[in-house]
Structure 1
Amino acid sequence: MKVLCIAAHPDDEVLGVGGTLAKHAAAGDEVEVMLLGDGEMARHETETQEAIERGEERRQEAREACKVLGVSTVTIHDYWGNQLDDVALIDVVRDVESKLESFHPDVVYTHYYGDLNIDHELVARAVRTAARPDPDSSVDRILSFETPSATEWAMPTADTAFQPTVFVDISEHLERKMEAIEIYGSEMRERPHPRNEASLRDNARLWGDKSGLEAAEPFELMLERRR
């Protein structure tokens, strides 16, 4: 099986689906990650040397974290963080289409479309557009994941409520996920905040409790084709 995770920024792939990617890799599946950018320019007004250097550090962190998970290839594009709404969506769609055409994944994981972060929302839309169920498409499943501090902080409307329908047992892979997230140490926060080691462990245990598992990652099923 070929598995592709498409996310907006480095650390999203570990926060949302790290345990599941590690599980796929351990099962012998071919796993790749595509990130739309390094996310650093969201924190800078201009492209300073400091921003460029930190951006490259985040790219290297992504490569190292994905290696821990067992990901074979990491592709990182150059879109500026939190500014995907300033570019034509068709450009993002075309980049996603190009990846789908070259890799031919069976399963795609991406952001939840109701997230507070605009990049997450637009990545989800681009993926759903690029992976529409054309007869020639290889994609048979698309699942959206939650991202702590983006999914639960979304606008409180019926349209933004994350309602997972698929739960993946990551009991044997939670430690691998935590090892990968340690590489993104600068992106972690102290409690009370959902993006810290203790909260991530608790969240996996909570979703496990809700689904009858020791530890789980939740997903909302966006597409499933049974051939």
Structure 2
Amino acid sequence: MRILCVAAHPDDEVIGVGGTLAKHVAEGDDVEVLMLNDGVMARYEAETSAARARRDDRRERARAVADSLGFEDVTVLDYWGNQLDDEALIDVVRDVESKLDSFEPHVIYTHYYGDLNIDHQIAARAVRTAARPLAGSTVDRILSFESLSSTEWAMPTAGTAFQPTVFVDIDEHFDRKMDALSIYEDELRESPHPRSMRSIRNNNQLWGEKVGLYAAEPFELIMERQR
């Protein structure tokens, strides 16, 4: 089975779905990750040498995470971080479609559409558009993951409540997820903060306890097609 994770930025793939990706690898599935941007360029007003150095470091860390979790291919596109709303959605959709055409995934994991972060919202919309359930599409399942410090910080409306319906047991892969997460140490925060090591660990353990597991990653099922 071929598994694709479409994330907005490096670190999103580990926080939201790292344990599940490691589990897919352990089960012999082919796993690839597509990231829409490096997530750091928005912190700079221009592409300075310091900005390029930070960007290159973030991309190197994304590749190190791929090695840590056990999958081979990670692609980081060149959109400017946290400004995807300045881009034509069709351009983002076409980039996702290109990946779908080349990799032909069966399952896609991507962001929750109600997240506070605009890049997350656009990633979710681009995936849903590119992976329409048309005849000939290989995609049979799309699941959205939560991103701590974005999903729970969304505007408090009925349409932004993350309501997971699928829970993946990651107990055997939990330590690998946390080791991979430490590679993004510059993006983590000290506790108390939802994007701290402590919070992420507790969150996965709490989701696990809610469904009778020791540790779990939660997903909202967006589309499933039975063949």
Residue 177 of structure 2 corresponds to 177
The runs of 5 or more residues in structure 2 that have no matched partner are: none
Task: Please state whether the residue corresponding to 2:13 is helix, strand or coil.
Answer: helix
Equivalence for 2:131: 131
Q: Which runs of 4+ in 1 moved over 2 A?
A: none
Q: Deviations over 1:21-57 (max 9, x none)?
A: 0000010000000000111111111111100110000
Tell me which residue corresponds to 2:81. Answer: 81
Partner of 1:71: 71
> Which residue of structure 1 aligns with residue 93 of structure 2?
93
Percent identity over the alignment is: 69
- Name 2:207's counterpart in structure 1: 207
Compute the displacement of 1:212 (Å): 1.0
Gaps of 5+ in 1: none
What is the CA–CA distance in structure 1 between the aligned matches of 2:39 and 2:79, rounded to whole Å?
A: 8
Deviation track 1:113-135 (CA, whole Å, cap 9, x = no partner) reads 00000000000000000000001
Deviation at 1:221, TM superposition (A): 0.2
Q: Which amino acid aligns with 2:118?
A: I
Partner of 1:114: 114
Stretch of structure 1 that moved more, 45-54 or 20-29 = 45-54
- Equivalences for 1:28-47 in 2 at 5 Å? 28-47=28-47
Q: Which residue of 2 aligns with 1:156?
A: 156
Q: For 1:80 and 1:152, locate their aligned partners in 2 and report how far apart those are by CA, in whole Å.
A: 24
Partners of 2:157 and 2:70 in 1: how far apart?
Answer: 37
Question: How far apart are the structure 2 equivalents of 1:145 and 1:95?
Answer: 21
- Between the aligned partners of 2:62 and 2:157, the Cα distance in structure 1 is 33
| Partner AA of 1:125 in structure 2 | R
Question: SS in structure 2 opposite 1:108?
Answer: strand
Distance 2:57 2:151 in 1: 26
1:172-205 Cα distance to aligned partner (Å, 9 max, x none):
0000000100100000101110111111110010
**How many Å separate the matches in 1 of 2:210 and 2:173?**
18
CA distance in 1, matches of 2:220, 2:43: 30
Partner of residue 225, structure 2: 225
Q: Distance in 2 between matches of 1:4 and 1:94?
A: 16
Question: What root-mean-square deviation, in Å, do the aligned CA atoms of Structure 1 and Structure 2 show?
Answer: 0.5
How far apart, in 2, do the equivalents of 1:184 and 1:136 lie?
A: 38
Equivalences for 1:48-63 in 2 at 5 Å? 48-63=48-63
Specify the code of the residue in structure 2 equivalent to 1:71. Answer: F
1:66 positional shift? 1.5
Q: Which residue of 2 aligns with 1:5?
A: 5
1:224: how far off? 0.1
| Match in the other structure for 1:144 | 144
Q: TM-score of the superposition, structure 1-length normalised?
A: 0.99
Q: How many angstroms apart in 1 are the aligned matches of 2:131 and 2:98?
A: 11
For residues 49 and 72 of structure 1, the distance between their equivalents in structure 2, rounded to whole angstroms, comes to: 29
Following TM superposition, by how much is the alpha carbon of 1:67 offset from its aligned partner in structure 2, in angstroms? Answer: 1.2
1:220: Cα distance to partner? 0.2
Q: Which amino acid aligns with 1:225?
A: R
